[in-house]
């Protein structure tokens, strides 16, 4: 049986979807028992050559030609942004269509409203491609771990920053040199701000956490720090201490409260997550029954993302053909967890201070930390070269972030400490 789809947004990913549906047409129908027919493609630019066969699909520049066409069953939204995309998704759901999107910014900004609309209309809004591209993490969480209880998510969900950090670690490049190379290779945009400052990772983490914990996330309480201030010095100290610096998206559920943060984090160099390199993404889950599990793949790019979009389309098509009732509630909140401020969460920390040489230096600093209830697990202090400030690197044991920040503020106020102390998180990941 044939299911009819319409595509809005014929850009990079859209082209990948058209190519995949075209090339794999026969295999898809053999495997799944359904035929997905791409009936219409909408884009404002219909002139540009995409090097892909659009088959029998009608091309149009008006998305109304898809959302108002009663013969279309599934709308694929690949417009990007949060204005037109929001209208496309909302109108499609209202018109009784199922929607597949890859738009994490849309879900971050308007997810609550759009999922509620899907529930009201008993239609599905699927979004596998919106988080970690081709990694089937949404399906793993909703289906494979349906009977489990996820308590922690660790994600490397931004390929641009992972590429930059990998090159800093492996080639000892500066941040600027690594960013330039990422741009040359197409792994970073001309304006990479939303990747570099952690905003992109934050959107994805919020989507993943609301799904894994089945609760609403207070977005104002997600801690966010990018990699723009990461210095090669810190990357090298981390290495010396047996750690690798990653831009880690972390979400935890503990005792009915959730906490979310995106920040540069030290992870042990021998864990599999530390070895997810370059543009690759990874999501690690810790759950009650399965324990640790890790999913790695390409988080961006036309073909990987298209794979995820097509998987969602085929899954919807199978259900449509089977006349199966849709469970729009599958993504709705179940739990009423509060979002805890990052200041009230505990972590281990990496601190790097620049100080003048003087007697009793370490005694003063460790006393301040001790007074705030913070113990130290490792120290590196190297001999001074010339009259450069002396760097001191400290690793702490578990501490409340509020206490840690208070202690660091006191340290920064010391007359012999130069400039702000670098603070990075440490996560002792085993897998």
- Identified binder of its own copies from the candidate list 6, 9, 14, 16, rule CB under 8 A: 16
Instruction: Tell which positions 402-431 bind its own copies, by CB under 8 A.
Output: 431
334 near 412, Cβ under 8 Å? no
3-state SS assignment for residue 82:
coil
3-state SS assignment for residue 197:
coil
Q: Which of 155, 145, 130, 156 is nearest to 312 (CA)?
A: 130
- Identified binder of its own copies from the candidate list 6, 14, 136, 264, rule CB under 8 A: 136
- Identified binder of its own copies from the candidate list 277, 341, 366, 381, rule CB under 8 A: 277
What kind and span of H or E run contains 250? strand 243-254
Q: Which of 9, 137, 132 is nearest to 76 (CA)?
A: 9
Q: How far is the CB of 160 from its own copies (least distance, A)?
A: 17
What kind and span of H or E run contains 146? none
Give, as one character, the DSSP assignment of residue 171: H
**286 lies in the site for its own copies, by CB under 8 A:** no
3-state SS assignment for residue 190:
coil
**149 lies in the site for its own copies, by CB under 8 A:** yes
**306 lies in the site for its own copies, by CB under 8 A:** yes
**310 lies in the site for its own copies, by CB under 8 A:** yes
Would you give the binding string for its own copies spanning residues 26-65, x where CB under 8 A is met? Answer: -xx-xxxx--------------------------------
Q: Name the one range near its own copies by CB under 8 A: 101-109, 283-291, 371-379, 413-421.
A: 283-291
- How many helices (H) and strands (E) are present in the chain, helices listed first? 14, 18
**239 lies in the site for its own copies, by CB under 8 A:** no
| Binding-residue total with its own copies (CB under 8 A) | 68
Catalytic: which of 4, 104, 204, 252?
204
Q: Rounded to an integer, what distance in angstroms lies between the CA atom of residue 237 and that of residue 118? A: 49
What kind and span of H or E run contains 139? helix 137-139
Quickly list H helices, 263-342. Answer: 302-321
- Identified binder of its own copies from the candidate list 47, 184, 191, 289, rule CB under 8 A: 289
> What are the tokens at 217?
């996330």
Whether 204 sits among the annotated catalytic residues: the reply is yes
User: What is the contact surface with its own copies in residues (CB under 8 A)?
Assistant: 16, 20-21, 24, 27-28, 30-33, 128, 134-136, 139-140, 142-149, 214, 270-272, 274-277, 280, 282, 287-298, 301, 303-304, 306-308, 310-311, 314-315, 318-319, 321-325, 327, 329-330, 334, 431
């Amino acid at each position: 049986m044939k299911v009819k789809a319409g595509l809005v947004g014929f850009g990079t990913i859209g082209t990948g979807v058209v190519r995949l549906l075209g090339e794999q047409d026969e295999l898809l129908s053999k495997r799944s028992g359904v035929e997905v027919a791409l009936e219409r493609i909408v884009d404002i630019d219909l002139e540009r050559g995409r090097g892909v066969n659009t088959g029998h699909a009608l091309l149009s520049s008006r998305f109304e030609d898809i959302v108002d066409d009663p013969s279309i069953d599934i709308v694929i939204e690949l417009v990007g942004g949060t204005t037109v995309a929001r209208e496309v998704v909302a109108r499609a759901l209202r018109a009784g269509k199922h929607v597949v999107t890859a738009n994490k910014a849309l879900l971050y900004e308007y997810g609550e409203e759009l999922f509620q609309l899907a529930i009201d209309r008993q239609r599905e809004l699927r979004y596998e491609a919106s988080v970690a591209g081709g990694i089937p993490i949404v399906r793993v969480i909703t289906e494979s771990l349906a009977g489990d209880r996820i308590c922690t998510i660790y994600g490397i969900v931004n390929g641009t920053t992972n590429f930059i950090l990998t090159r800093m670690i492996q080639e000892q490049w500066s941040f600027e040199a690594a960013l330039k190379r990422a741009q040359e290779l197409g792994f970073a945009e001309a304006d990479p701000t939303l990747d570099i400052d952690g905003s992109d990772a934050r959107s994805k983490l919020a989507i993943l956490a609301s799904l894994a914990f089945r609760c609403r996330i207070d977005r104002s309480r997600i801690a966010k720090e990018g990699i723009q201030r990461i210095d090669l010095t810190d990357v090298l100290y981390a290495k010396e201490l047996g750690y690798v610096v990653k831009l880690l998206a972390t979400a935890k559920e503990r005792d009915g409260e959730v906490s979310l943060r995106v920040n540069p984090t030290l992870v042990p160099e021998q864990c599999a997550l530390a070895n997810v390199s370059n543009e690759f993404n990874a999501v690690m889950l810790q759950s009650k029954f399965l324990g640790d599990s890790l999913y790695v793949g390409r988080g961006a790019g036309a073909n990987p993302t298209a794979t995820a979009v097509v998987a969602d389309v085929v899954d919807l098509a199978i259900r449509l053909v089977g006349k199966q009732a849709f469970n729009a509630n599958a993504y709705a909140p179940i739990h009423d967890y509060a979002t805890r401020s990052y200041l009230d969460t505990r972590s281990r920390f990496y601190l790097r201070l620049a100080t003048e040489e003087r007697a009793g230096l370490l005694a003063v600093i460790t006393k301040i930390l001790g007074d705030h209830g913070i113990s130290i697990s490792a120290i590196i202090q190297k001999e001074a070269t010339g009259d450069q400030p002396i760097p001191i690197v400290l690793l702490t044991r578990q501490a409340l972030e509020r206490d840690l920040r208070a202690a660091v503020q006191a340290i920064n106020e010391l007359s012999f400490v130069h400039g702000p102390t670098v603070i990075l998180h440490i996560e002792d990941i085993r897998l």
